[in-house]
A and B are shown apart, each in its own frame.
Chain A
């Protein structure tokens, strides 16, 4: 880094491209997004219209919200695999309680279990120092069990998704999806937390060098506890929105999005080792994946091949970032 920075004109092209990509990760991402849309338009001419754009954004928003959980936790070198369960619980509870209580109460009730999952995650990771991946996998197992027990108690009462959520999830105003009303403030909040608050800086600091951060007097477990509770809350909100979009309660509603959300954050330039990344990149990553999913659907690729592709993408992108960091 220091040599190439003092004599940039002598640096080989490959290194300059690498440096540019690590300094401005958004530029190659947006180029990739545009390329994918162009490919899609060549394969299926005429697909590119306002309705398609609106639909893509509508489905990319829940993904981007869930990828927000991954971005935040990955900044500290963690990961949150329980977000699928937290979101599903929130969605299922709001649909079933919506039939009994008024929408506001149902929504508040729906967010409680999500917060509980986040609390247990935070204690496990922050106090007992369990690896986040194993901890969140474990809590998601418990959560699924709880949801199954809960399902049997409400099986008679039926389900009703609050109208407000349906309006938010599926509605379109002046060509823009209503979900943007939720997404733009949340995205702004996430970016604000990451860039402008002490909490956000602590996340980067812990991901960069946990030991140094602790020696500097940071209460590690408090930061981690707040982080995982925030992540689960965000997942719960995402579950509510997703319920409004899908409108059919099920016990595995948001589960398929977990893997994709990890991929979105990784593609968006968030390092899975912590300390690097931003939510802006993740949003573009989610859009890229959503376009890619359309592309794979147009190409009639089976679900299995899609999963294999996502796994390969996560591995390839992580390895590539590792090379870039190594060069510095």
Chain B
């Protein structure tokens, strides 16, 4: 009971932090409102999927360094397939890319299980391989995106009963994010597989001895991570309309958000909600810095420092909990 309370307390604290940052944004710039919230959500979208991918893998006791490269390769695949193709064709592209992410994630897991090389080395190697694959698919940013796909994340959800002032606060991107995360996460968390993922994360040997299929669970955890990565890649293509083969800054951000969201590096603890709120907090902090009219390059330094500090803090907490 105490643990649940403490975990909810952590999430509540993050929400309070988010609200405080939002108020700060409004104080700095009184016109900061619904429209800006919408653009914040669409900027968060790829980050949120990267965080979701990292969260599942970290809970299972691993770490996925290839998450940004996975997004790049799925994004360029989607963009290359949709370039010049019909709107209906994109209906086939989306499941194909999701399947591809799932398969590539599973490949990560299979390599870890078969070679017995630690997660961090395997995913470092696959990071380079996926990066190379992305460059082979599209040597330079390009490709295209179906219009209906792009319209999924722009604009607001039309709710007929409510006045426009209220619906303005429900951007489509937020709806898409919540729906996609819930479709994967809620059944997962309630299934035997979800329980196994937590089990191998907290103690692999104990899980093995209690009859949990460790190898299969690990492969599936990475595969689900890959699926989220593919969603992130698609959201990149959706928001920019093209695919870029160079991975964005999603790896470091995902690790920091996972730590800030209360998931312990090492596995077995935490949920998806905390890291998702954490990534909103981190992006909003960036917006506040921009609103303060700080040079964008300095913002990058401050952001990097925050990320490093958060990761250091997380490692410190993990060390403390190991000692006690």
Contacts and interface: CB of A to CB of B under 8 A. Distances in A.
Interface in B187-226: none
Contact of B304 (A145, A152, A308): A145
A312 B129 contact: yes
A307 B129 contact: yes
Contacts of B63: 131
A205 interface: no
A314 B297 contact: no
B182 to A, nearest CB: 29
Contact of B315 (A128, A303, A305, A309): A128
B129 A319 contact: no
A72 interface: no
Contact of A141 (B133, B304, B316): B304
A303 B139 CA distance: 9
A302 B255 CA distance: 31
B118 interface: yes
B140 to A, nearest CB: 11
Interface string B307-324: 110011001101100000
Q: Which 6 A-B pairs have the closest CB atoms?
A: A304-B135, A311-B128, A307-B132, A308-B132, A304-B136, A315-B125
B295 A314 contact: no
Contacts of A146: 301
Contacts of B111: 315
A311 B126 CA distance: 6
B264 to A, nearest CB: 13
B121 A148 contact: no
Contact of A138 (B134, B136, B298, B307): B307
18 contacts: A124-B312, A128-B316, A129-B315, A129-B318, A130-B312, A137-B252, A138-B304, A145-B301, A146-B301, A302-B135, A302-B139, A303-B132, A311-B125, A312-B125, A315-B126, A318-B115, A318-B121, A319-B116
A130 B308 CA distance: 9
A314 B124 contact: yes
A327 to B, nearest CB: 13
Given A305-B132, A305-B136, A319 B117 contact: yes
Interface string A131-159: 10111011101101110110010000000
Interface string B122-148: 101111110111111101000000000
Given A131-B120, A142-B304, A312-B125, 14 more contacts: A120-B308, A129-B318, A130-B311, A138-B304, A138-B308, A302-B136, A303-B139, A304-B135, A305-B132, A307-B132, A310-B132, A314-B128, A315-B111, A318-B121
Contacts of B319: 128-129
Nearest to A147: B297
A80 B262 CA distance: 27
Residue of B125, B126, B134, B301 with most chain A CB atoms under a 10 A cut-off: B125
Contacts of A142: 301, 304-305, 308
Contacts of A314: 121, 124-125, 128
A259 B125 CA distance: 9
B34 interface: no
Contacts of A312: 125, 129
B30 interface: no
Interface of A: 120, 124, 128-131, 133-135, 137-139, 141-142, 144-146, 148-149, 152, 259, 262, 272-273, 302-312, 314-315, 318-319, 322
A281 to B, nearest CB: 18
How large, as a class, is the contact surface on chain B?
Answer: 35 or more
Nearest to B315: A130
Contacts of B118: 273
A131 B315 contact: yes
Contacts, number: 126
Contact of B128 (A130, A133, A307): A307
B65 interface: yes
A244 to B, nearest CB: 27
Interface of B: 63, 65, 111, 115-118, 120-122, 124-129, 131-137, 139, 245, 249, 251-252, 255, 265, 295, 297-298, 300-301, 303-305, 307-308, 311-312, 315-316, 318-319
Given A137-B252, A138-B308, A142-B304, A303 B122 contact: no
Given A145-B301, A307-B129, A315 B249 contact: no
B127 A272 contact: no
Nearest to B65: A133
Given A139-B308, A311-B128, A322-B115, A272 B121 contact: yes
Contacts of B300: 141, 144-145, 148
Nearest to A308: B132
B119 to A, nearest CB: 11
A22 to B, nearest CB: 17
Contacts of A138: 252, 304, 307-308, 311
Contact of B308 (A135, A144, A308): A135
A279 to B, nearest CB: 21
A132 to B, nearest CB: 10
Residue of A134, A262, A304, A308 with most chain B CB atoms under a 10 A cut-off: A134
Contact of B122 (A139, A145, A315): A315
Given A134-B311, A142-B301, A315-B117, A308 B133 contact: yes
B250 to A, nearest CB: 12
A304 B122 CA distance: 18
A120 B120 CA distance: 22
Nearest to B114: A319
B261 to A, nearest CB: 16
Contacts of A128: 312, 315-316, 319
Given A137-B251, A318-B117, A322-B115, A307 B307 contact: no
